[in-house]
Structure formats: structure tokens, C-alpha cells
Amino acid sequence: MRIVYLGVIFLILSFSSYSQTPQIDTVAIMLLDKMGSVIGELESCSFTLNTSNDGIDVDLGLIKYFNVHQVYMVGPDKMLINSQGDKGHRGFWYNGKKLMYYSYTENNYGAIDAPDNIIATIDSVNKNYGIDIPAADFFYPTFTDDLIAQSENIIYIGKSKVAAKDCFHIIAESEHMSIQIWISDDALFLPVKFVIVYYDAVPNVQYEATFSDWRINPDLPNAMFEFSPPPGADQITILAK
Amino acid sequence: MKKVKVNSRCIIYLVILIMLSSITAEAQRMRHNSGGNRNRSNQNVQRSNTQQNRSINGGYDKPTNRDFSNANTDRNLNTSTRDVNKTNIKERNPSVNNDLPSGNRNNSNINSGNRNNSINNDLPNNNRNNANINSGNRNVNINNKNVYVRPPAYPYPRPPYHYGGYNYYAYHPYHYHPYHPYYYGPAYNPWGVFVATIAVTAIIVNANSQKYYYDQGVYYVQSSGGYTVVQAPVGATITVLPEGSQTVVVNETTNNYYYGGTYYEKSDSGYTVVPPTAGTVVENLPEGGEEVKIGDVTYVKIGETYYQPIVQDGQNMYEVVNVEAVKE
């Protein structure tokens, strides 16, 4: 199957012409669609995401911040995120009704009413509370279309090696940002890495994330998505935007 | 000259803040309203119920035929032809208006009982101040429209924390420590609490055409069957400070006297209740407050005032936060 798929890719490559203004590269779209299709068929998954992002300090310039996130999802309505890094050690538990937040660092917790599925919840908490779910973009069912809608160019750059894995390297760019995505060159076409460079900031700031420890359709118990406040934890109010 | 330097530094901070706020809004997120180029057939939406119910995202939306009307589907891997210099990158030059009215965010809900009383301190002010306090088995609605934070004495040396259309200014860096209310003694009651009787030593204090009862740092208004503790009314004057009041520095020439979340200033006739001044640092916060997570920062909200946990000289303290709405 993989050979057939790669064959299709090379067939398209062979029909390439030499346009002056490449915009939407069908190979890139095929790869993105393949990745999206695989993710869309997952009933559960887990992965680790190592991220870095830049902050700007007036005196010191760019400062790099690092975070590590462990993400667990069970469709359609269970999610657990454990994050450690510059924002402290935090957890989010989504059980289909509420998103519970707990700060291990501050030993306090809060609850947010959530929609009944993962994507609506990701969208809701980001819009209303500014909470960024790690690598959330890749789980939107319309990921590729959204990328097309906001990009001027989407190009398949070529094969690349990231974290000892063979990858397809794609870049999508607009006047505001460039998004580079590395998709694994194996049977699953899962995302391996992505980098976003924001052109609007001076100097340009960058967000980088690397996936690891992908587990496909693992058997995850429902109990792990239920949060119980530890003894002594304070309940706090989470203010919406 | 020094002032100009400080101001220009503040402007630089603000410019960067505005830039970053728009960036962080989608820092890890692309736009997902989606479908500008989508040309999806209805067949595409048909998925098996099983897949739709069990998939982590409801299943991938892949159009059967995409509309690449603007796209050149011919690939050109010669990247040297691409304009990598991006000369059309927008140079953002955000205009920053720092001259904003103090817009304190004041909606609180504190529940500790269920009884209904309604108290309106409806004094002229533009701040959003609606507190809903259920205490002592009574629901007490208090509209405190006379509370606000006075502007800081000096420009802030650090950019504000930005969240949800508001800037949160503080002189000291955020340093979380849990909110443990300070015990002001048996005579102290937090705002919103209903009591059947008050001490016979309570005196009547008039402020803003309303009658209050004052006893040992606590202000009451009469309500059905008793008295309800309210926030100290700005403008009320007492002759003797409550025992345990602390002197807090507001600026080089002014001190305030602080007791249980209330600030007093020396006046001709005694000590007059004033709003907290942004940047004032206090050691203790009274009971009746709540911790509020605003983005990545956990503040303590007492009445309508936000306090940022800080450390000063190795001691856990709280700084009055200046909250300003960002003018779009």
C-alpha cells in the first residue's frame, strides 16, 4: 500500500512543470490529507510533545522557553494533558462534560464547562480561556483546508530526516507566518515535527514542537480522565476572556 | 530627560506587548474557521456512526474535489524562484494608547449560604462592579459602583500581563503563594456576611448620602432582620483607625493606613476611606477573597480589587494590580 502511495507521489512529480509562481502543491496536499485521514480514524492515541517558543525581552532579545506535554485522547470526548515547563507543572482533564485544570506547582484547581467532544472543547477553551492544547491544530478535521485557506504557498520541499525518522517536509507560508511540517515517511503518516515562524514580530519569533512516543489506539481507561483534587488543593475561579 | 527615557521605554514595552498579544493569540494555533477553498460534496459528510462517535475528532474532512482556482498545481521544486525575502511582510506599527480609563473587572460570585438581601451603593462611577454574595444563608446583592483602583505613582518598569482585552500591571514579578486569609480578630466579618445584631459601640457613618454602621474596621448597612457587612464606602471618615491597621506606602509623600482590605488616608477630620492605589504592597489579605486564574496568572480578588502575589524582601506579599482595558 505504501509503495502504491509513494508511486502516486512520484507519478505526480514526473508531471511537474516549471511554473514561476508555485502556490498550492498537490503533493503537499496529498500528504497532509493522508496524515489527516489517519488521525481522523484514530479512536484513541497518546503522544509526547516537546515544544519551544520564543519570548521577546526588551533588554535581552529573544528568550527561548521549553515545555513537555503528554497528551492522551479517547474519542470522542476524553482528553488528558500533562504539561511541564516554564509555566510550571499543570494538568488538564476532560471527561466529556468539564475540563478540569490543576496546577501541581500552585496546588490549586478549577473547572470549566466543556462541550461534548474533543475538538469543540479544544476550540472552546482556546477562544474563551486562551488555553492552548498542544498540537491542537493537527486534530482539527479541516486541518488541510484551514492551512490552504490561510496560506499563500504550500510546498512539498522533499524528504528529510528528523529524530532519526524519514520524513516528508512541507512548508506553508503566508505574509504573517511560515509553517513547516514534517510527516513521517512510514505506514502511518503521522506528524513528527512542526515549526511556526511569525513574521509579524521583530525579531521573528518561533514556535517549535516535536512529537514522540506516538501510540495508536491504545486502551486507555476512562478513570484516567476523571480529576479528583488532591487533599489541600485550593479551588480557584478561572476567568474567561 | 530621565522621564522621557522612562516613557520611551514604556512605549517600547507596550509596542512589544501589543505585537506579542496578537501573536500569542494564535501562537500554537492556526486559524480553524475553515473552508475558504473547500468544495465539499455532501457524500463526504456521510460517515458511519461508529466512526463518527469513536474517532478522536469525528473523522477527517476531506473534500472529494478541492477548488484550487488560485493554485498552480504544477510543482516547481526550484525554490530559488520563490521570494523567500518576503518583501511584502507587513511592518506592524501598532498604535498604542495608554490613556485609558481604569477598567476594573468586577464580577464576583461568592456563595456561602442562601438568603436574599439587596443593597445598592449606586454611586457614580464607570467601573464594572457587580458583586453577588450569598452569605450566612442569605443572598446579598451589592452593587459597589464606588470602588476603583487609583492610578500608580510611577510608571511601570515592566510590561503588563495581557489577557482577554485587559492589561494587568504590577511593579513586582508574579510569585505565586497560596491565599491564606489573615485573621483580623472576632470583630472582623468579611464583606457580604449577614449578622442579626451589631455591637452597641457601632457608630453611624454617612458617606455618599447613605447611612452605614461602623465597628472596629467593619462597615454594615441595615437589611431586613439585621445588618450586612459591606465594602468600606469611599469617602467615609472615621476618627480612630481600627486596631491593627498598618501603614502602607503609596508614594514618596503619601501613606495609607490599611486594615482588612480597606485603605484610609489622613484627612482634616480623621481618616477617610480611599480606593486602593495601584502598586501598593500589603502583607495580609482578609477572608472573603477568592483566587482567580487569569490566563497563566493566579490573582487574589478582594471585593473588586485584584492583588498579585509577590515576594518582597523574602516575604510573601500582595501588590494591588492596575487593570486597564485595552482599547482596540
CATH level 3 topology of A22-235:
outer membrane lipoprotein receptor (LolB), chain A (2.50.20)
Query: Distance (Å) from the C-alpha of residue B246 to the closest C-alpha of chain A?
Result: 28
Q: How far apart are CA B235 and CA B251, in angstroms?
A: 20
pLDDT of amino acid B122? 35
Q: How far apart are CA B255 and CA A107, in angstroms?
A: 35
Q: How far apart are CA A224 and CA B121, in angstroms?
A: 48
Task: Test A200 with B70 for CB contact under 8 angstroms.
Answer: no
pLDDT of amino acid A211? 98
pLDDT of amino acid B158? 87
Task: Test B75 with A141 for CB contact under 8 angstroms.
Answer: no
pLDDT of amino acid A56? 86
Please give the ipTM for the structure prediction.
Answer: 0.80
Interface of B with A in 230-259 (CB under 8 A): none
Task: Test A146 with B34 for CB contact under 8 angstroms.
Answer: yes
Domain locations along chain B = 107-325
Q: What backbone torsions phi and psi does residue A158 show, to the nearest 5 degrees?
A: 150, -170
Q: Which residues in chain A are contacts of B163 at CB distance < 8 A?
A: 130, 239, 241
- Residue count of chain A, please give it: 241
Helix (H, G, I), strand (E, B) or coil at B226: strand
Q: Which three cell numbers stand for residue B230?
A: 459591606
Q: Residue B70 corresponds to which amino acid?
A: N
Which residue of B35, B163, B292 is in closest CB contact with A130?
B163
Give me the half-sphere count of Cα atoms (radius 13 Å) on the Cβ side of residue A94: 27
- To the nearest 10°, the Cα dihedral for A106, A110, A116, A119? -40
Q: How far apart are CA A173 and CA B35, in angstroms?
A: 17
Q: How far apart are CA B325 and CA B322, in angstroms?
A: 10
Q: How far apart are CA B222 and CA B237, in angstroms?
A: 19
Number of other residues whose CB lies within 10 A of the CB of residue B89: 14
Task: Test A106 with B298 for CB contact under 8 angstroms.
Answer: yes
Question: Does the model's pTM come out above 0.80?
Answer: no
pLDDT of amino acid B100? 33
Q: How far apart are CA B192 and CA B131, in angstroms?
A: 9
pLDDT of amino acid A91? 97
Which residue of B58, B92, B290 is in closest CB contact with A237?
B290
pLDDT of amino acid B199? 93
Which DSSP category does B137 fall into?
Answer: T
* pLDDT tens per residue, range A95-112: 999 999 999 999 999 999
Q: How far apart are CA A28 and CA B76, in angstroms?
A: 12
Question: A141 CB near a chain B CB, below 8 Å?
Answer: yes
Q: Residue B163 corresponds to which amino acid?
A: Y
- Which of B39, B60, B292 to mutate against chain A (most A CBs within 10 Å)? B60
β-pair partners for A94: A79, A99
pLDDT of amino acid A21? 61
Which residue of A17, A118, A145 is in closest CB contact with B37?
A145
Distance of CA A78 to the CA centre of its chain: 17
pLDDT of amino acid A186? 96
Question: A171 CB near a chain B CB, below 8 Å?
Answer: no
Which residue of B56, B59, B90 is in closest CB contact with A45?
B56
Sequence-distant (6+) residues with CB within 8 A of A79 are A71, A72, A73, A92, A93, A94, A118, A121, A133, A225
Which pLDDT tens digits describe chain A residue by residue (241 residues)? 555 555 555 555 544 444 446 589 999 999 999 999 999 999 999 999 999 999 888 788 899 999 999 999 999 999 999 999 988 999 999 999 999 999 999 999 999 999 999 999 999 999 999 999 999 999 999 999 999 999 999 999 999 999 899 999 999 999 999 999 999 999 999 999 999 999 998 889 999 999 999 999 999 999 999 999 999 999 999 999 9
Question: B125 CB near a chain A CB, below 8 Å?
Answer: no
Which residue of A129, A145, A200 is in closest CB contact with B92?
A200
Task: Test A145 with B38 for CB contact under 8 angstroms.
Answer: yes
- Report residues of chain B scoring pLDDT below 50: 1-2, 4, 6, 15-28, 34-51, 71-147
Question: B67 CB near a chain A CB, below 8 Å?
Answer: no
Which DSSP category does B286 fall into?
Answer: B
